[in-house]
Amino acid sequence: MAQTSPTLTIMIAAARKAARALSRDFGEVENLQVSRKGPSDFVSSADIKAEKTLFEELSKARPGYGFLMEERGVVEGSDKSHRWIVDPLDGTTNFLHGIPHFAISIGLEREGVLVAGVVYNIVRDELFWAEKGSGAYLNDRRLRVAGRTDMRDGLFATGTPFNGRPGHEIFVQEVQRVIARTTGIRRMGSAALDLAYVAAGRFDGFWERGLSPWDIAAGVVLVREAGGFVKEIDNGDFMKTGAIVASNERLLAPLVETLRAS
């Protein structure tokens, strides 16, 4: 692996430790598909166990840092300058159905600025990592966003609003407009991995509304350090609104224009 900073070394070690239990749990999911209650409870337990491991490992290495976590919420730290933003299992529905596309996501915020990120695709053993000013990597390979300049050649990713959440009508309009201008759209089920795939040049862009900070924090660092750009769809703060769009320099503006037309 390319040389990592002490901070990234801590993040990667924590992710790999939590991943070992998640990998074992994923191997048991197929046996639980006969019960609606069983798999849901099992996945919830797996999620909580992974988050506990990440919390313990990161706290041990950086005792004063605060946390923003999917299950625990906000955990204040004595060091008000640093905060871990953690999703122990991004792609829970995929995990529940035995689909091998989910990840651990760890972001680090310093003075309100995202400075480091790790997204670990456990099943494929793909470790995406980045630190502000140091580039983005997949395992040992340096990452760059795709260089396409025409929307018609691009492949884009998005996410569907969950049942009970608003925004389905807008989503349908956005998909119709984007797909009419592009090669196609993919809905993979993990925002963290969607952003990592943008950083790796696998997707030309990504957008979604209604996300939480732990879904996107690490991925934002990856995209930026791979030469891409990230913004809020409607010019707000994506860490607050959860409405995010990411792409390369040439495609970001036409993608945003297409989405706003919806």
Strands 79-90 and 65-69, sheet pairing: parallel
Q: What is the CATH number of domain 6-142?
A: 3.30.540.10
Write the DSSP symbol of residue 209.
Answer: S
pLDDT of 35 reads: 44
pLDDT of 43 reads: 65
- Residue linked to tokens 């945003």: 256
pLDDT tens, 178-212?
Answer: 999 999 999 999 999 999 999 999 999 999 999 99
The CA distance from 163 to 58, in Å, is: 33
Architecture of the domain defined by 151-260: 3-Layer(aba) Sandwich (3.40)
Write the DSSP symbol of residue 31.
Answer: G
Q: Which residues of the chain have pLDDT under 70?
A: 1, 30-43, 162-166
6-142 against 151-260: fold identical: no
Break the chain into its structural domains and give their ranges. Answer: 6-142, 151-260
Strands 135-138 and 141-142, sheet pairing: antiparallel
Give yes or no for a contact between 174 and 208, defined as CB atoms under 8 angstroms apart.
Answer: no
Distances (CA, A) of 179 to 114, 131, 169: 31, 33, 16
The CA distance from 124 to 7, in Å, is: 24
The CA distance from 203 to 247, in Å, is: 8
Burial of 202 (0-12, 13-18, 19+ CB in 10 A): middle
Look up residue 26 and give its amino acid.
F
- Provide the token pair at 199: 């950083």
Beta strands in 160-243 (DSSP E): 184-186, 205-208, 229-232
The CA distance from 170 to 187, in Å, is: 16
pLDDT tens, 13-33?
Answer: 999 999 999 999 898 876 654
Please name which of 137, 163, 178, 165 lies closest in space to residue 3, comparing C-alpha atoms: 137
- Judge if pTM exceeds 0.85: yes
pLDDT of 156 reads: 98
